[in-house]
């Protein structure tokens, strides 16, 4: 059995070092630290300054961001966040859920291998990726598995997590060996558990939806044209879910939400589809968000609030926003499946 940080055989005067551990870092998008104007401004500035997120001329975007967006957007967005804020812990729900996912993952896997340490971070906001990578390294993690909590790969999500992690590695003298978990958009465990969760929620409704929308976060159409696989990953997830649920394309549909700016984004748009369905006579609608591993502003406020209002205002009668997998049994089975697969060689080895 490996002795953790055993330095008894070191020569006199050797600096104290920790070694022999394996880290797992779960990373989600991020959340502001509070809902006031300045907290929202800091968060939005970090997020919208990322060239992976906004791929336009940097000089033009700097002017638009600082003179328009960061002046007008923090106030209304802060009000939106306030409607979903975890008042008990004074934090956004994404932070609450991601912490719980890390804690449950640690409880499930660390007892099998005492070398394992599980931590979590946010790409934007706190705790930052660099801080948690340094913390894992200081605890002796020579190998670290980074798990971007996005089932579908996109440059604006998965790749920017990698960018930030590699930036942190560039500052380290003794770099840990890093492995990035691949996307799991078509993993059988993911498809099965997201469908099990959806079926369970549908069974508890007091109505049967005529249409179910699988709403994914949108990106500009130009990203697809540049070679980003995100759209393809979303479409495959939706197709596999529809086949598993044995539903027709008319009843189980794929849409894209959360567009920003004037550029054309991936279509069909969720809000426009919701409006059109209601106006066409559909009275009962449910929306599920299989691209999100945790509930956040986009699922709780945009889907559960804005799109509910759009549907009811245009003639709909029954609406359900299906919760994300979060830290439920189904959600943790997916995360644990991904982590165990990517740690298989590391966990099996003993030195």
Helix or strand run (H / E) with residue 285: strand 284-288
- Distance between CA 203 and CA 93 in Å, rounded? 25
Q: What is the 8-class DSSP label of residue 22?
A: E
Predicted confidence (pLDDT) at residue 4 exceeds the cutoff of 70:
no
Predicted confidence (pLDDT) at residue 53 exceeds the cutoff of 60:
yes
> Fold identical between 21-183+331-348 and 188-321?
yes
Predicted confidence (pLDDT) at residue 350 exceeds the cutoff of 70:
no
Q: Which residue has the tokens 């996307």?
A: 183
Predicted confidence (pLDDT) at residue 15 exceeds the cutoff of 90:
no
Mean pLDDT of the chain: 95
Measured from the Cβ of residue 150, the count of other Cβ atoms closer than 10 Å reads 24
Binding residue numbers: 217, 298
Q: Please report the pLDDT score of residue 16 as a whole number.
A: 72
Q: How confident is the model at residue 206 (pLDDT cuts 50, 70, 90)?
A: very high
Binding residue numbers for Fe(2+): 217, 298
Q: How confident is the model at residue 121 (pLDDT cuts 50, 70, 90)?
A: very high
Please enumerate in sequence order all residues whose Cβ is within 8 A of that of 304, keeping only pairs 6 or more positions apart, or say none.
Answer: 321
Predicted confidence (pLDDT) at residue 341 exceeds the cutoff of 90:
yes
**Domain formed by 188-321, architecture:** 3-Layer(aba) Sandwich (3.40)
Q: Please report the pLDDT score of residue 2 as a whole number.
A: 42
Q: Which residue has the tokens 């426009």?
A: 272
Sheet with strand 116-125: strands edge to edge: 116-125, 21-31, 141-148, 177-180
Relative to beta strand 318-321, strand 284-288 is: parallel
Please enumerate in sequence order all residues whose Cβ is within 8 A of that of 321, keeping only pairs 6 or more positions apart, or say none.
Answer: 286, 287, 299, 300, 303, 304, 307, 308
Measured from the Cβ of residue 1, the count of other Cβ atoms closer than 10 Å reads 6
Q: Which residue has the tokens 């106006």?
A: 279
pTM comes to 0.94
**Domain ranges within the chain, ordered by starting residue:** 21-183+331-348, 188-321
Predicted confidence (pLDDT) at residue 6 exceeds the cutoff of 60:
no
Q: Please report the pLDDT score of residue 3 as a whole number.
A: 42
Name the percent of the chain lying above pLDDT 70.
Answer: 95
Q: Please state which of the four CATH numbers 3.40.50.1400, 3.40.630.30, 3.40.50.720, 3.40.50.300 is assigned to the domain occupying 21-183+331-348.
A: 3.40.50.1400
Predicted confidence (pLDDT) at residue 14 exceeds the cutoff of 70:
no
Mean pLDDT of 85-98: 97
Q: How confident is the model at residue 1 (pLDDT cuts 50, 70, 90)?
A: very low
Mean pLDDT of 324-347: 96
């Amino acid at each position: 059995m490996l002795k953790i940080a055993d330095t008894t055989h070191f020569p006199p005067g050797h600096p104290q070092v920790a070694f022999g551990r394996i880290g797992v870092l779960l990373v989600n998008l991020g959340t502001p630290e509070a809902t006031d104007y300045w907290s929202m401004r800091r968060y939005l500035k970090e997020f919208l300054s990322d060239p992976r997120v906004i791929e336009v001329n940097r000089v033009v975007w700097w002017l638009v961001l600082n003179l328009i967006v960061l002046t007008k957007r923090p106030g209304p967005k802060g009000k939106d966040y306030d409607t979903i804020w975890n008042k008990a812990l004074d934090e956004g729900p994404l932070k609450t859920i991601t912490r719980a996912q890390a804690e449950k993952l640690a409880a499930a896997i660390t007892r099998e291998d005492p070398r394992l340490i599980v931590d979590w971070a946010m790409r934007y906001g706190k705790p930052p990726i660099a801080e948690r990578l340094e913390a894992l390294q200081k605890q002796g993690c020579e190998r670290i598995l980074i798990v971007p909590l996005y089932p579908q790969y996109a440059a604006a999500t998965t790749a920017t997590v990698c960018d930030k992690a590699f930036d942190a590695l560039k500052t380290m003298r003794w770099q840990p060996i890093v492995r990035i978990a691949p996307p799991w958009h078509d993993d059988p465990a993911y498809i099965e558990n997201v469908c099990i969760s959806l079926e369970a929620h549908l069974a508890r409704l007091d109505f049967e939806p005529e249409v179910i929308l699988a709403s994914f976060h949108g990106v500009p159409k130009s990203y697809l044209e540049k070679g980003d696989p995100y759209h393809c990953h979303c479409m495959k997830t939706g197709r596999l879910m529809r086949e598993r649920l044995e539903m027709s394309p008319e009843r189980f549909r794929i849409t894209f939400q959360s567009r920003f700016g004037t550029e054309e984004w991936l279509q069909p748009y969720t809000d426009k589809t919701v409006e059109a369905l209601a106006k066409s006579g559909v009275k009962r609608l449910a929306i599920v968000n299989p691209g999100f591993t945790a509930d956040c502003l986009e699922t709780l406020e945009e889907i559960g609030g804005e799109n509910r209002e759009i549907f009811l205002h245009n003639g709909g009668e029954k609406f359900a926003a299906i919760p994300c997998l979060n830290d439920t049994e189904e959600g943790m089975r997916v995360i644990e499946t991904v982590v165990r697969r990517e740690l298989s060689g590391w966990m099996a080895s003993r030195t």
